[in-house]
Amino acid sequence: MHGTSAQQMYGTNPEITSSLMNSYAYDTMLTWLESSGYNVETNSSNWGNYSNNENTNNQVEKAGTNKSWSANNIYDLAGNVGEWTSEKGEKGQIQRGGSYYNEGNITPAGIRQDTSKTITANNIGFRPIIYKTGNSVIEGYDNPYIPNGFTHIEGEWNTGYVIKEETTGNEFVWIPVDGYNLNLERSEFEKTFASMEKSTDSIEIAFRISVYTHGGYYVGRYEAGIDNTSGDNVGLPVSKKGVEPWTNISMNNAKQSAQKMYEQNNEINSSLMNSYAYDTMLNWLKKQDYSISTYDVDTNSSTWGNYKNNANGTKELTGSNESWKANNIYDIAGNVWEQTTENYKDEVVVRGGDYLSNRRCFASRNKRPCIARKYI
């Protein structure tokens, strides 16, 4: 594998950094190409140097030999030689894209192949990436986009910008991601019952692209509430004040219900919170100029959440108490645990504590059935 060679490419340049392609960069690139009409998932034969392409000579060609083997001006992503990435596999390292002796319908551009990283062959190479050294500010974070059918009802971008859907009354709060003070990333907090190091999670490429395109994302202002169904079923959740939190639902059904919320909307997508979105939201709250005794996200959130030692020890309707909100988001601390897409061994990770918890840190990870909070 040639990670060191890729790093040396611009190792002395103070402005840019070069490295071996990582899976995030590779998948983002492929998603972009797919949106331009290139088949990256099932059959890339017609735009790559594969054995079943009529223009091939069944051999490794010099880079950029054939114009028909380019996609959006990037050459040889499909076929020619497989490309090492920094992604790790069970056997060693992941390579992408297939090679000249493969068929494009068997090893399309998006293929992952798990290979020992000590192997060398004339059909395995690599592709470097370059990027600006250091942090760069993402545009749009301080000017939240408003989807069609929604209106801004209160708050500013840095204090809790709230939008409301005109037809349903659902409300969401903007989480700004500027790429300098705040990045979209997972974090470990002081109190936890399921260490981040031992948990796993993934992030949809489309979500990551949207965040860095628009400078943030919206999170449900309230815990997901019951509308037309309850219990362990798939239904249509709401994000409204004064409704019963949706509990006693499995992670799979919570995930499907969250996705269903806006599945008919061509402009926005909804999903169950992943750990990247949840931790970024918490880090945003930490970066505000709040007194640590008022909004402690690491050790003790008793003073601003529905916990056993701060309330009546009962589950409340969403948004019941004005003192249980932060930056216009209600009930992150306490009331009911909230499911995420994060997994700890074979169990689902939930966040935030509940009305039976005593001084639980809202950022903590735990494992038990709970409600779902979604984002768009």
* Opening angle at CA 120, ends 117 and 121, nearest 5: 135
Are 8 and 50 within one domain?
yes
Q: What is the mean pLDDT of residues 159-174?
A: 95
Confidence (pLDDT) at 193: 56
Domain ranges, residue 156: 150-375
270 and 259 Cβ atoms separated by less than 8 Å: yes
- Does residue 371 form part of some domain? yes
Confidence (pLDDT) at 255: 92
Q: Which position has the higher pLDDT, 311 or 1?
A: 311
Give how far Cα 75 sits from Cα of 80, 81, 85, 124, 263, Å: 10, 11, 17, 15, 35
Nearest-angstrom CA–CA distance, 76 and 97: 9
| Dihedral-angle region of residue 272 (phi above 0 means left; psi in -120 to 50 means alpha; beta otherwise) | beta
Are 87 and 179 within one domain?
no
Binned at pLDDT 50, 70 and 90, residue 293 comes out as very low
Confidence (pLDDT) at 1: 56
Are 213 and 266 within one domain?
yes
Residue 190 predicted with pLDDT over 70: no
Residue 309 predicted with pLDDT over 80: no
DSSP assignment of 150-198 equals EEEEE--TTT--EEEETTT--EEEEEE--SSS--S-----SS-SS-GGG
Q: What is the mean pLDDT of residues 253-279?
A: 91
Confidence (pLDDT) at 288: 61
Are 217 and 126 within one domain?
no
Confidence (pLDDT) at 195: 61
Are 126 and 154 within one domain?
no
For residue 281, the 8-state DSSP code is H
Are 211 and 68 within one domain?
no
Are 173 and 104 within one domain?
no
65-120: pLDDT as tens digits? 999 999 999 999 999 999 999 999 889 999 999 999 999 999 999 999 999 989 99
Are 154 and 121 within one domain?
no
Give how far Cα 189 sits from Cα of 16, 212, 245, 270, Å: 32, 24, 26, 26
- Does residue 137 form part of some domain? no
For residue 22, the 8-state DSSP code is P
Confidence (pLDDT) at 354: 84
Are 156 and 299 within one domain?
yes
Helices (H), 170-309: 205-214, 251-260, 275-287
Q: Which position has the higher pLDDT, 123 or 11?
A: 123
Are 272 and 316 within one domain?
yes
Residue 278 predicted with pLDDT over 60: yes
CATH code, domain with 303 = 3.90.1580
Residue where a domain terminates, one of 132, 163, 182: 132
165 and 336 Cβ atoms separated by less than 8 Å: no
324-374: pLDDT as tens digits? 998 999 998 888 989 888 888 778 888 888 888 765 444 555 543 334 454
Confidence (pLDDT) at 370: 37
Nearest-angstrom CA–CA distance, 174 and 158: 9
Confidence (pLDDT) at 86: 92
CA atoms within 13 A of residue 75's CA, in its CB half-sphere: 9
Looking at the structure of the chain, the number of domains it has is 2
Q: What is the mean pLDDT of residues 17-24?
A: 90
110-127: pLDDT as tens digits? 999 999 989 999 999 999
**Which residues are paired to 112 by β-bridges?**
96
Are 100 and 246 within one domain?
no
Q: What is the mean pLDDT of residues 168-193?
A: 82
128-157: pLDDT as tens digits? 999 877 656 677 899 999 999 999 999 999
Nearest-angstrom CA–CA distance, 268 and 259: 11
225-261: pLDDT as tens digits? 987 666 788 899 999 999 999 999 988 999 999 999 9
- Does residue 9 form part of some domain? yes
Record the tokens describing residue 134, joined without a space.
């250091």
Q: What percent of the chain has pLDDT over 90?
A: 51
Q: Minimal CA–CA distance to 237: which of 218, 260, 216? A: 260
Are 52 and 173 within one domain?
no
**Which residues are paired to 200 by β-bridges?**
343
Nearest-angstrom CA–CA distance, 8 and 18: 7
- Start-to-end Cα distance in the chain: 39
CATH code, domain with 123 = 3.90.1580.10
Mean pLDDT of the chain: 85
